[in-house]
């Protein structure tokens, strides 16, 4: 509520155009509101250590870059450089990185050694962009994030691990509040807001930060291959979109309407129906990750299953591209985005 007049006065709004068919100028303040809520709650309920301080600093930079992108539409290359630099705070500042990938091939746990910091930086950038690319219809990023946060809590509970749950709990509260406004359920949509890049990139960075923390070290309770299932939808969507763009002779970073939610809209679903459908798919994927880990299914089997699902998903998306016509010439066919 507080951010709305400021955003409108500054022009930090999403305006309807050929690619965006929502009604009126909608403030892009959801991410700023979520981050403010996290900061205020942190000062009230969290005992800060050096790692948590660096988390708040890195996410502050991430939100700033996202807000600038919302306002100025930054060059994709500049965004990537900023994401790598912010990821460096996590890897080299907080000393948090992914060094163990688990027993993915049946020959023992894979240790990345000297490659671990670079691998983690790539994972940070991938997670940030996966969630950022998914933000195309009302409530989608929020719904996917809630699924992942809840799945983390379930795994911690069934694994008998006591974790510091303040951050996931704070995000859940902030996301539920955001969805209330994002879906336009308050005073008939009069106070509707969008998350913006500031919010989606904040969530992406937070996800990889928590997954790195929960999958590594003596206190790990999530196996790395399980983490893939917990963020399966945004991850598969991003990789598939980039592969299909490259095959179509386009830049993988080019903005277009070839994501899963666009295809759901093209096939007749409303934005709310598409969000619900994709949310259910995400919940099912998380359940697969949870159940197979708790059941002791081998990590190599779960990795093969994940790859198999991705191959099937990508094949279906390629068929959808063909159904819609030439991929490169139909990026503006969809007219029912928000």
**pLDDT value for 195:** 85
**pLDDT value for 26:** 74
Confirm whether 148 is domain-assigned: yes
**pLDDT value for 18:** 45
Confirm whether 338 is domain-assigned: no
**pLDDT value for 141:** 95
Confirm whether 334 is domain-assigned: no
pTM of the predicted model, to two decimals?
0.89
Confirm whether 131 is domain-assigned: yes
Confirm whether 285 is domain-assigned: yes
Confirm whether 277 is domain-assigned: yes
Which residue range is the domain that position 264 belongs to? 3-329
Confirm whether 132 is domain-assigned: yes
- Total domains in the chain come to 1
Q: Report whether 310 contacts 260 (CB < 8 A).
A: no
Confirm whether 336 is domain-assigned: no
Runs of H (alpha helix) within the chain: 3-10, 30-45, 50-72, 76-88, 116-134, 140-158, 166-182, 196-215, 224-230, 232-247, 260-266, 271-294, 299-323
The residue ranges of the chain whose pLDDT is under 70 are 1-25, 162-165, 184-191, 325-338
**pLDDT value for 332:** 46
């Amino acid at each position: 509520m507080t951010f709305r007049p400021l955003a409108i006065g500054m022009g930090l709004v999403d305006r309807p155009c050929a690619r965006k068919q929502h009604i009126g100028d909608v403030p892009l303040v959801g991410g700023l509101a979520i981050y403010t809520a996290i900061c205020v709650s942190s000062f009230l309920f969290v005992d800060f250590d050096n790692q948590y301080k660096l988390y708040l600093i890195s996410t502050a930079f991430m939100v700033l870059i996202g807000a600038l992108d919302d306002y100025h539409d930054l060059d994709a290359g500049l965004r990537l450089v900023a994401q790598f630099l912010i990821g460096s705070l996590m890897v080299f500042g907080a000393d948090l990185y992914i060094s163990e990938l688990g027993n993915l091939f049946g020959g023992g746990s894979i240790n990345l050694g000297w490659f671990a910091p670079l691998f983690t930086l790539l994972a940070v950038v991938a997670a940030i962009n996966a969630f950022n690319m998914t933000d195309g219809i009302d409530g989608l990023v929020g719904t996917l994030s809630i699924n992942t946060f809840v799945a983390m809590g379930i795994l911690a509970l069934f694994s008998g691990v006591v974790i510091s749950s303040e951050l996931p709990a704070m995000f859940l509260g902030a996301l539920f509040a955001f969805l209330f406004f994002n879906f336009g359920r308050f005073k008939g949509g009069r106070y509707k807001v969008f998350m913006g890049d500031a919010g989606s990139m904040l969530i992406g960075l937070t996800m990889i930060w928590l997954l790195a923390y929960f999958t590594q070290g003596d206190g790990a309770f999530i196996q790395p291959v399980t983490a893939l299932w917990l963020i399966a939808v945004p991850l598969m969507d991003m990789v598939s979109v980039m592969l299909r763009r490259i095959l179509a002779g386009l830049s993988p970073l080019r903005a277009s309407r070839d994501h899963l939610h666009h295809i759901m809209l093209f096939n007749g679903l409303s934005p709310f129906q598409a969000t619900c459908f994709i949310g259910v798919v995400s919940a099912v994927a998380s359940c697969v990750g949870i159940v197979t880990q708790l059941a002791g299914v081998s990590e190599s089997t779960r990795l093969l299953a994940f790859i198999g699902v991705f191959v099937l998903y990508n094949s279906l998306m390629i068929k959808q591209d063909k159904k819609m016509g030439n991929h490169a010439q139909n990026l503006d066919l969809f007219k029912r985005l928000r």
